[in-house]
Amino acid sequence: MKYLYQTKVTNDQGLNGTAYVKGNHELAVVTSSPISTDAGTNPEQLIGLSWATCFNSTIEILLQSKGIEKRVG
């Protein structure tokens, strides 16, 4: 099977630390517990962002395949 996209992510500091995305578009994200007052994004927020982005991309592809123009706002 041919991969269209691959990425590598690392979190070696646990919940309160930094998670990293390696590769062409390197990214470091400070993470923290959702019940903490510490700065950082919690894992639940990251999953929510992932789901929202995947859902939006799927809807865009479906609209495009039906010739329907996307409206924003």
CATH of the domain at 30: 3.30.300.20
Residue 73: inside a domain? no
Q: What is the pLDDT of residue 59?
A: 94
- The count of structural domains within the chain is 1
Range of the domain at 12: 8-65
Average pLDDT, stretch 47-70? 94
Residue 72: inside a domain? no
Q: What is the pLDDT of residue 31?
A: 95
Q: Which helix (H) or strand (E) holds 9?
A: strand 8-11
Question: For residue 54, how far is the Cα from the chain centroid?
Answer: 9
Q: Six-digit token pair at 23?
A: 């590769």
Q: What is the pLDDT of residue 24?
A: 74
